Amino acid sequence: MTLQYGPINPKCPHFLHGGDYNPDQWTPDVWDQDMRLMKLAGCNAMSVGIFAWTALEPAEGRFEFGWLDTIMDKLADNGAFAVLATPSGARPAWMSRKYPEVLRVKENRVRNLHGLRHNHCPTSPVYRQKVGIINRRLAERYKDHPALLVWHISNEYGGECHCDRCQEAFRQWLRKRYNNDLDTLNHAWWTGFWSHTYTDFAQIESPAPHGEPSLHGLNLDWKRFTTDIAIDFYRGEIAPLRELTPDTPITTNFMGLYTGLNYQKFSRELDVVSWDSYPSWHQQGAESWRLGAQTAFVHDVNRCLRGGRPFMLMESVPSATNWVQHAKIKRPGMHITSSLNAVAHGSDTVQYFQWRKSRGGSEKFHGAVVDHCGHEHTRVFGEIAELGKQLARLDAVIGSGVAAEVAVVYDWENNWALNDAWGPKRGDKGYPATCQRHYESFWKAGVPVDVISMEDSFEGYKLLIAPMLYMVRPGVAERIEQFVKGGGVFVATYLTGIVDQTDLVFLGGWPGPLRKVLGIWAEEIDSLPPGETNCVVGADGNALGLGRSYEARDYCDLIHAESAEILATYGEGFYAGRPAVTVNAFGDGRAYYIASRNDQAFLDDFYGRLMADLAVRRPLEALVPQGVSVAVRTDGTREFLFVMNFTGDVQTIDLGPTAVTDMVSGQAVSGAITLPAFGSRVMQRG
């Protein structure tokens, strides 16, 4: 099977390396230094114009493109490209003053003043019109420019607007969703509770802390609406670009697992997914390597947003960010390793915020390629230039995919619903972290994983893992049954199958529509406060070989095995002896239920056994030392092996007897290799 998606834009079949570039904040003499330094750093792609609206339109209807013309020409002369932004992420002061409607209204119904960024109302006709005009001008001017490579729409869309116009748009959206029928809406939101029944659409308001925060169906629909209105705004932004530059791919930069927008929906609108990745390295002591796994999970989410297509690492920091409590600088080696972590999981770019450190403003202490000293003789610049050289050797990786036999379901709407629920614990239920812990067992083994939504296809996987699948939308349980019937192995946990798409609880016993495939009934759920634990003990002769006792915390489901077999039981308290892990044979496959949140040792043993049983492909025979990651991309013929050391110690990895080619040095390697602290290597085989 070939797994070759091609480059993001055929104009550049190489890795993009570069970053957010704000020449509009500097004088032309600095631009020439920038071009020289870009060459030295091996940078070939600059994101320009992101917050440049005032520089482009200093007064209403007066446009100044001269400076951008010069920059575009200079980039092209330098053999580099522009990831050209539309400027809607921040607006000129003249606009806010003349048209206050462009500014956002907060949940408290107070309109913001001019300031900051990401502060626009998505329904404002004036704002949409102004954005349309400037975007059209940009497209007209640069459509044939050799430097134009990718459109970067706005910047990190996010937030919500609660103005009267947005309220009205929300009501229209609801009318459409509920066929103009208030009874359907009242039922879906269970508004009879506390006498919240609506008798007119006009009574409906967006959720507010001083109004209605407690209707979970309303909260879910408001979030869905917020995503849809952002998509609608985005469609307006891209209309002139599509018309004038049909061959230039379009993206907007996402923010990882940001919950304000449903990226699993929004991503369908993009030609290429891009995201801004800011892990805070070296802050977690001995467990620092774990952040490598957590970040890889988010990279895999982004790769799977468009069915496995390579994505863009649109922003990352060359050393330290400025917005954490303690801005630790990256230890030598970590910059290259963390960048390759993105590449290993599907990125075809390594881009930064920011190219040159700004002189003033709140980001003047944020890491950059070029520091305030203004020259290339810095540790950070040196490591970036070294990475630039390495990326230039990786052309073969461009467009390749990841062949995963395992999928973890991480679903945006499920996260919304879980965290909104008042029980079995208030607030954050730790859903993303739980998915990341399940994922970690595979990361440690070097086994590729897709991270998908519950709407994505389950076909082709051997193992499908859906931790905490609290919300089960229509059709999903049927597709899971289908998957297991056909021979797939499915894993579910506590807090599964509780509510439907509008947060109405499934009646007749949990896990609702998944009860049959899992062969259990979950009668009660216990929520343990921090520090309280139970334990899980393997049943005699259990098929998974779970021998020891594992710690359970946070959540313990009290379940009945109906058709399922018991593999482990609780060890303590009044529910000692009750089932804690079960398996249900169903069709040609089987379905496991893990009733409590168990420690990592449990997950590693449990999945270790499943990987062996299912003969899941792993890139290396030998065990990988803790803190080292092995990841693999493939075009269907060749394999690209990334070995990354996320620890501060030298590590030895056994590559096995067959020689592979080091893609940077070109040398053949086999057997044991050593990696320095935070070191990494990329190899090709086949």
What residues line the site for ligand GLA (CB under 6 A)?
155-156, 276, 278, 315, 321, 353, 363, 366
**Around Cβ 84, how many Cβ atoms within 10 Å?**
25
The whole-angstrom separation of Cα 126 and Cα 260 is 24
- DSSP characters for 326-392? S-PPPPTTHHHHHHHHHHHTTBSEEEES-SB--SSSTTTTS--SB-TT-SS-SHHHHHHHHHHHHHH
Place of tokens 């002139």: 240
> With CB cut-offs between 5 and 8 Å by kind, which of ligand GLA, Zn ion, none does residue 156 bind?
ligand GLA
Identify which of 510, 379, 372, 343 has the alpha carbon closest to the alpha carbon of residue 25.
Answer: 372
Give the angle 663-667-673 at the CA atoms, nearest 5°. Answer: 90
> With CB cut-offs between 5 and 8 Å by kind, which of ligand GLA, Zn ion, none does residue 607 bind?
none
**Which residues, including other chains, have CB under 8 Å from residue 135's CB and lie 6 or more apart?**
86, 88, 237, 238, 240, 241
Of 147 and 161, which CB lies nearer to Zn ion in the complex structure?
A: 161
Question: How many Cα atoms are found within 13 Å in the side-chain-facing hemisphere of 260?
Answer: 13
- DSSP characters for 64-98? --HHHHHHHHHHHHTT-EEEEEPSTTS--HHHHHH
Of 123 and 251, which CB lies nearer to Zn ion in the complex structure?
A: 123
Give the angle 80-84-86 at the CA atoms, nearest 5°. Answer: 170
Q: Are 593 and 517 in contact (CB under 8 A)?
A: no
Residue nearest to ligand GLA (CB): 276
Of 363 and 639, which CB lies nearer to ligand GLA in the complex structure?
A: 363
Of 361 and 427, which CB lies nearer to ligand GLA in the complex structure?
A: 361
Q: Does 653 bind Zn ion (CB under 5 A)?
A: no
**Which residues, including other chains, have CB under 8 Å from residue 574's CB and lie 6 or more apart?**
none
> With CB cut-offs between 5 and 8 Å by kind, which of ligand GLA, Zn ion, none does residue 314 bind?
none
Out of 101, 156, 237, 405, the active site residue is: 156
Q: Which of 43, 52, 121, 317 binds Zn ion (CB under 5 A)?
A: 121
Of 353 and 570, which CB lies nearer to ligand GLA in the complex structure?
A: 353
> With CB cut-offs between 5 and 8 Å by kind, which of Zn ion, ligand GLA, none does residue 315 bind?
ligand GLA
Q: Does 163 bind Zn ion (CB under 5 A)?
A: yes
> With CB cut-offs between 5 and 8 Å by kind, which of ligand GLA, Zn ion, none does residue 456 bind?
none
Q: Are 568 and 549 in contact (CB under 8 A)?
A: no
Q: CB 191 → ligand GLA: shortest distance, Å?
A: 39
What is the pairing mode between strands 579-586 and 565-570?
antiparallel
Out of 57, 160, 237, 315, the active site residue is: 315
Q: Does 161 bind Zn ion (CB under 5 A)?
A: yes
> With CB cut-offs between 5 and 8 Å by kind, which of ligand GLA, Zn ion, none does residue 166 bind?
Zn ion
In three-state form (DSSP H/G/I as H, E/B as E, the rest C), the secondary structure along 543-559 is CCCCCCEEEEEEEEEEE
- DSSP characters for 434-498? HHHHHHHHHHHHT--EEEE-TTS--TT-SEEEETT--B--TTHHHHHHHHHHTT-EEEEESS-S-
> With CB cut-offs between 5 and 8 Å by kind, which of Zn ion, ligand GLA, none does residue 338 bind?
none
Q: CB 208 → ligand GLA: shortest distance, Å?
A: 27
Of 163 and 469, which CB lies nearer to Zn ion in the complex structure?
A: 163
Of 317 and 552, which CB lies nearer to ligand GLA in the complex structure?
A: 317
Place of tokens 């030998």: 622
Of 351 and 584, which CB lies nearer to ligand GLA in the complex structure?
A: 351
**Around Cβ 533, how many Cβ atoms within 10 Å?**
16
DSSP state, residue 249 = -
Residue 160 known to be catalytic: no
Identify which of 305, 630, 660 has the alpha carbon closest to the alpha carbon of residue 446.
Answer: 630
> With CB cut-offs between 5 and 8 Å by kind, which of Zn ion, ligand GLA, none does residue 584 bind?
none
Q: CB 55 → ligand GLA: shortest distance, Å?
A: 16
Residue 64 known to be catalytic: no
- Looking at the annotation, which residues are catalytic? 156, 315
- Contact residues for Zn ion, defined by CB under 5 A: 121, 123, 161, 163, 166
